[in-house]
Structure 1
């Protein structure tokens, strides 16, 4: 399964690269406004680095992680072209000792994951949260946005993507078990529109106790 998922995402990102600065997601803009001063931002499921490049442009120290070799290569090339410093790491959420691959720096850390939680299994979600806990300390934050159980019947622009529709209460409980408490929570349509796909998503900003 891991191999087939990797092959799928490599093929998905095997489209012509662009040198244009990508427009950040609505969620990245929201999170940047909440962070205030510089953070070590660690993005899980970065794709080609759209949001990671945005955070780097605002002076954050950014590590961008994705399992797709193709996506990472595109992100690295674009960062070089735009003159942004982003540390891209090709790794899966199940990569052994993943936190040890990430550079330690700064006083504050933000874990960032947009449309990542619903693209992994429930077991992998637990592994992701374990890594988030290992990478953070009291006062650090985790920002996530994902499709919820109320999004199952909506139109999808990319039908072939693996999707797991997440119960926000279950996610909050799993995060709480790792020492994260919800500081901000909202759900609904209109937060992540893409063409005909208006996903019903949950947004969470959590703080590490």
Structure 2
């Protein structure tokens, strides 16, 4: 589903979740960072963006589904936080000014497309800024354990690392997927060296 209208229908059909607890890998990677400016690329309903806002971050959340963004606004209001919601194609979106944190969770749009998003996110990072990426690992396609198909939609550590050339990679590895006995996620964390 790469079409905004399809995603609008999918979000409209789902129940609205008000829980904004972060994925444990996100909390582990960025939970101790001092708040600054953050962007969540391909935010959907933006639960990570809202969680960051509750921790003092100034967050922009970007998605091409108007329904998802509207639903995220509702959840943010319920939590009493402000998020700058943007309806835009993440492949073309460029943050205004440097950011301290770029977050990409389960944005499965194809190898070339995710590389474009990651290059833009990396380019926007301020010195010392962090990039966090989490999604289905490509090993799932071989094992038949889960995630979207074709395999090109799944994450490959070497491909993601090449896309963020210029950053220092702290971690790029497959981890067990939360709640699954046999599927794997890929976690990538990287940062722009201080000037």
> What TM-score range do you get, normalising by the shorter chain?
0.7 to 0.9
Note the 1:23-62 alignment, pairs <5 A: 23-35=21-33, 37-62=34-59
| CA gap 1:174/1:154 in 2 versus in 1, 3 angstroms | same
| CA gap 1:52/1:163 in 2 versus in 1, 3 angstroms | farther
Aligned residues: 192
| CA gap 1:129/1:11 in 2 versus in 1, 3 angstroms | same
Note the 1:1-209 alignment, pairs <5 A: 5-15=3-13, 18=16, 20-35=18-33, 37-95=34-92, 98-99=93-94, 102-104=95-97, 109-116=100-107, 119-152=108-141, 153-156=143-146, 164-176=153-165, 179-189=166-176, 191-193=177-179, 199-209=183-193
Aligned-residue Cα RMSD (Å) equals 2.6
- After superposition, the C-alpha distances for 1:100-128 in whole angstroms (9 at most, x for unaligned) are xx4447xx611111111xx1122212321
Match of 1:81, SS state, is helix
Structure 1 residues not aligned, in runs of 5+: none
Whether the aligned pair in 1 keeps the contact of 2:157 and 2:172 (CA below 8 Å) is no
Match of 2:164, SS state, is helix
| CA gap 1:160/1:42 in 2 versus in 1, 3 angstroms | same
Match of 2:122, SS state, is helix
Structure 2 residues not aligned, in runs of 5+: none
- CA distance in 2: counterparts of 1:34 and 1:140, whole angstroms: 13
Normalising by structure 1, we get a TM-score of: 0.79
- CA distance in 2: counterparts of 1:159 and 1:184, whole angstroms: 23
Normalising by structure 2, we get a TM-score of: 0.84
How far 1:27 moved relative to its partner? 2.6
